[in-house]
């Protein structure tokens, strides 16, 4: 029986999981929003200002999407005027290893281009 490398098996069998992950993190603004949130911005317009070129429309939609995916939480505090703040969830923090690997690869990728 031929021994197949683990790499090939992973790629083939688990493609579905890979797609799920890509779906969650590959949006144009997704990671920027998570980044902004993790840097302390919590309010809608605060986040909007922290991310260049994003429109309210997109921010609104992305936040909904992120909330649906349980990556952020939305809290309403009505004390006179409307007060809403967003936070990344503990669950979102499980993405850190994934993101770290991607960043690591991104650095090497860029370096590879320079050296070639």
Binding site for DNA (CB under 7 A): 27-28, 43-46, 53-58, 60-61, 63-64, 74, 81-86
Which of DNA, a second copy, none interacts with 26 (beta carbon under 5 to 8 A by kind)? a second copy
The DSSP H or E segment spanning 58 is helix 56-68
Residue 43 has what DSSP assignment?
Answer: S
The DSSP H or E segment spanning 71 is none
CB 84 within 8 A of CB 74: yes
| Residue tagged 């005027």 (tokens) | 81
- Residues in binding contact with a second copy, number by CB under 8 A: 45
Q: Is residue 100 within the footprint of a second copy (CB under 8 A)?
A: yes
Q: Is residue 26 within the footprint of a second copy (CB under 8 A)?
A: yes
CB 47 within 8 A of CB 66: no
| Residue tagged 């921010």 (tokens) | 59
Out of 38, 60, 64, 77, point to the residue binding a second copy (CB under 8 A): 38
The residues that touch a second copy, with contacts defined as CB under 8 A, are: 7-8, 10-12, 14-22, 24-26, 31-32, 34-35, 38-39, 70, 91, 93-110, 112, 116
């Amino acid at each position: 029986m031929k021994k197949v490398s683990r790499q090939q098996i992973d790629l083939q069998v688990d493609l579905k999981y890979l797609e799920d992950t890509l779906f969650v993190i590959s949006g144009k603004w997704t990671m920027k929003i998570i980044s902004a949130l993790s840097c302390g911005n919590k309010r809608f317009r605060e986040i909007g200002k922290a991310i260049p070129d994003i429109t309210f429309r997109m921010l609104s939609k992305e936040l909904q999407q992120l909330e649906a995916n349980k990556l952020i939480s939305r809290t309403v505090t009505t004390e006179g005027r409307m007060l809403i703040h967003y936070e990344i969830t503990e669950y979102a923090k499980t993405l850190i290893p994934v993101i770290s690997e991607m960043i690591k690869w991104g650095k090497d990728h860029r370096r590879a281009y320079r050296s070639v």
